Structure 1
Amino acid sequence: MEKLAIFDVDYTLTKKETLAQLYMFMMKKNPSFIIHAPRSFFSAFLYALKFFDAKRAKENFITFIEGIKEEDMQRLVKEFYEEKLSKILYEDAIKMIKKLKGEGFKVYLISASPEFYLNELYNIKEVDKIIGTKFRCSNGIYSRKMEGENCKGEEKVRRLKEELKKDNIEVDFKNSYMFSDSLADKPLFDLVGNPFLINYKKGHDKIKILNWK
């Protein structure tokens, strides 16, 4: 049986929220993308007020990818990783990935952020599997519409088990690890024997807290 080291991404591996970083990166490359700003940030505001659920808010926020060709997106996310994403990773997170990989764990990154750019984190050679929210790419053109559900909460567990079944992997969850900055990942925390909260300010009586820089 395999042991997993599961990591959330935003504010767990990274110091900043990655989707907002992607949008700012793309605006820097093409200032005309500013046209999407009112809708994107209004959607985030309505989500905070609970008028939008996470799926609707994310589909509205990410309008800036609408109509981008697949080959152009591949070039953009490669540049995004090299110029921005790789620069906002916590050093302590990378050390933990390397440590657990060296001890024989399979390293899984599971995030609600879009998979089309999270896949650039395969540049971290220790990463075995990346699972994120999928967005439609039809006939080589990207859409803001999700494929399936937002990869958050219970959906993370469902997607993980789906991938494990597909890869025919049996897991020793009791001796596996999960790292996240948020209790929104309680379903994954409950799955493993070694849960850790990252940079969590409130304290917790059951889950150990690690402070990463």
Structure 2
Amino acid sequence: MDSKQPVAIFDFDGTLTNQDSFLPFLRWTHSQKSVWTGLYRCSSTVVSYLLGRCSNRDITEKLLTQFYQGWSSETLQTLAIGFAHQDLPKLINPEAIAQLKWHQEQGHQVILVSAALEIYLQPWAEMMHIDKTLANRLEIHQGTITGKLQEENCYGFEKEKQLRQLLGDLSHYYLYAYGDSKADRHVLAIADEPYYRKFKGNQRIMIR
């Protein structure tokens, strides 16, 4: 490890947070009535996703189209920054963030790799002095949100793919990886020290 650069890779939803962050973001940008009405309109796609009949990207873009298609990107960015600074910190797992800060104190590079939306994750990451964020970017056309993702959904194998594109030859790095679901298994599989699901104080629980 002495000759390798240490890098700590964290999933966000369910790993650094105690819950998914998208629904709280919907509540931040919409009234409660609008949230429930929109979710109802997406219910058939949600059921299809739960039954394995559509992809994670399909359900993500269905929700983005329902709630944000046609929005000004500038307006949504302003709301996202407010969410990142005011509401998102309430979702953070203190034990997980202690682990992240431990890596920073050791001088390790810290990277977030998440299917959460970059529009609110990036401002939070900057506030936490995190080195790099790989997350879902919204497609924007002439200053307007289209409801589509700009790139492939940062989920499952795509997490590993984007990480390799960022770092290059992984043999130069000593990788710590933290995740909580099957979407993280590809990143956990390439880590020197993969940690799954739980933190206990500052102690990490390794899966192998």
Quick check: TM above 0.5? yes
Report the Cα distance in structure 2 between the residues aligned to 1:112 and 1:119, rounded to whole angstroms.
12
- Tell me, which stretches of 5 or more residues in structure 1 are unaligned? 201-205, 209-213
Change (3 A) 1:41 1:127: farther
After TM superposition, the score normalised by the length of structure 1 is 0.84
For 2:207, give the aligned amino acid: I
Report the Cα distance in structure 2 between the residues aligned to 1:170 and 1:188, rounded to whole angstroms.
12
Q: Percent identity?
A: 26
Aligned length: 199
Q: Which residue of 2 aligns with 1:144?
A: 147
Change (3 A) 1:188 1:170: closer
SS of 2:116 mapped into structure 1: strand
**CA deviation profile, 1:40-71 (whole Å, cap 9, x unmatched):** 34322221111211111111122211111121
Q: Which residue of 2 aligns with 1:14?
A: 17
Alignment of 1:49 with 2:48, yes or no, is no
Q: Which residue of 1 aligns with 2:77?
A: 74
- Tell me, which stretches of 5 or more residues in structure 2 are unaligned? 200-205
For 1:151, give the aligned amino acid: C
Paired residues of 2:164 and 2:170 also in contact (CA < 8 A): no
Q: Which residue of 1 aligns with 2:122?
A: 119
Paired residues of 2:27 and 2:35 also in contact (CA < 8 A): no
The correspondence of residues 1-213 of structure 1 with structure 2, limited to 5 A, is 1-28=4-31, 32=34, 34-62=36-64, 63-165=66-168, 172-173=172-173, 175-199=174-198, 207=207
Change (3 A) 1:25 1:125: closer
Report the Cα distance in structure 2 between the residues aligned to 1:98 and 1:33, rounded to whole angstroms.
34
Report the Cα distance in structure 1 between the residues aligned to 2:171 and 2:107, rounded to whole angstroms.
13
SS of 1:25 mapped into structure 2: helix
Using the TM superposition, give the Cα deviation of residue 32 of structure 1 relative to its aligned residue in structure 2, in angstroms.
4.5
What's the RMSD between the two structures over aligned residues?
A: 2.3
Change (3 A) 1:83 1:124: closer
**CA deviation profile, 1:88-146 (whole Å, cap 9, x unmatched):** 10111111111111112100000112212211222443300010122201111112111
Task: Between 106-115 and 33-42, report the one with greater CA deviation.
Answer: 33-42
Paired residues of 2:21 and 2:91 also in contact (CA < 8 A): no
For 1:138, give the aligned amino acid: H
